[in-house]
Structure 1
Amino acid sequence: MTLINPISYWRLKDRYFNLLGTKCTKCGAEWFPPARVCRKCGCQDLVDHEMPHTGRLLAHTVLKEPSEEFRSSAPYVVGLIELDNGQRLLAQVVDVDPTGLQDDTRVRLTIRKLAEDTKRGTIFYGYKFTPLP
């Protein structure tokens, strides 16, 4: 697995610890991941905008044989999440029994460990989702 340089990671930490996208100042459209140009109206004036922390699970799969970097975490769930503003993203779903998870489950953002660079002693954190009670 190629890990991001720790300096770059630190500079971009707001994007990892918050679900940060962009919002068009002209038409109000929201984009995740962040866009430089609004795909709705073509405006280039977009500002950082925090995405909703809740949404629903549209579809999911259980990874039982992931790539080598993630084998210690297997099996784990990856889901297609639709945020409450309509934006969609792929993310790991945690704190759930993979056999009992159902599509259309309400979920919320949580920050968790993504990876560890043992050579540099750096732990990388980012977003995952957990089912709402």
Structure 2
Amino acid sequence: MSSTQRALAPEISTWPDDDPRLIGSTCGACGATTFPVQQRCPRCSAADMSQTLLPRRGTLVAWTTQGFPPGAPYKGPTGKDFVPFGVGLVQLGEGADAVVRVEGRLTENDPAKLQFGERLELTMIPFTTDEDGTEVVTFAFQPIDDKEAQA
């Protein structure tokens, strides 16, 4: 991590690790997994939640393009500086290891270039720049190169 970068929400990921992962929670009573971390299980209401690192890879379930700046508490670019961005629902993990669906930015903003079931991987991307010049990064999901996916 450069001293000129910071995470938008440092508590939700292991960034600046080389291979950052999102931090979720798993219920000790029923096994449900959540993102972000929750104190009580949304499935069974137990207060037996423990932090867990979520899989870095998953599959695209649904997507759209955010064509205008979101409402508050959005702190990113607006006006002429706003660039439409892809938003997707990603099923993290595969098969029996599919643990949770996470909504997040996509590195691709053209919905025609995305497809149901496409494999994606977590990455960190620039979001905005603070008043002091510090680059603020956030998590996003990027398509996995076909050659890399088969490795």
Which TM-score band applies after superposition, normalised by the shorter structure?
A: 0.7 to 0.9
CA apart distance, 1:108: 0.8
Tell me, yes or no, if structure 1 residue 13 matches structure 2 residue 10: yes
Q: Which residue of 2 aligns with 1:131?
A: 143
CA apart distance, 1:25: 2.2
Q: Which residue of 2 aligns with 1:6?
A: none
**C-alpha distance in 2, partners of 1:77/1:128?**
9
> Given the two structures, how large is their TM-score scaled by the length of structure 1?
0.75
CA apart distance, 1:59: 1.5
**C-alpha distance in 1, partners of 2:66/2:104?**
12
Tell me, yes or no, if structure 1 residue 38 matches structure 2 residue 41: yes
The ranges of structure 1 where at least 4 consecutive aligned residues each deviate by more than 3 angstroms after the TM superposition are: 63-68, 70-73
CA apart distance, 1:73: 5.3
Does the 8 Å contact 2:65/2:109 carry over to 1? no
Are the structure 2 counterparts of residues 66 and 39 from structure 1 closer, same or farther at C-alpha, using a change threshold of 3 Å?
Answer: closer
Q: Which residue of 1 aligns with 2:125?
A: 112
Does the 8 Å contact 2:60/2:116 carry over to 1? yes
**SS at 2:81's partner residue?**
helix
Q: Which residue of 2 aligns with 1:83?
A: 92
- Between 1:70-79 and 1:107-116, the stretch displaced more is 70-79
**C-alpha distance in 2, partners of 1:102/1:127?**
20
Please point out which of 50, 53, 64 is paired with 1:50. Answer: 53
> Given the two structures, how large is their TM-score scaled by the length of structure 2?
0.67
**CA displacement, residues 14-71 of structure 1 (integer Å, 9 cap, x when unaligned):** 4243310111223322111211111233221211111111111111112344458255
Q: Which residue of 1 aligns with 2:81?
A: 72
Does the 8 Å contact 2:68/2:82 carry over to 1? no
CA apart distance, 1:97: 6.8
**C-alpha distance in 1, partners of 2:38/2:11?**
16
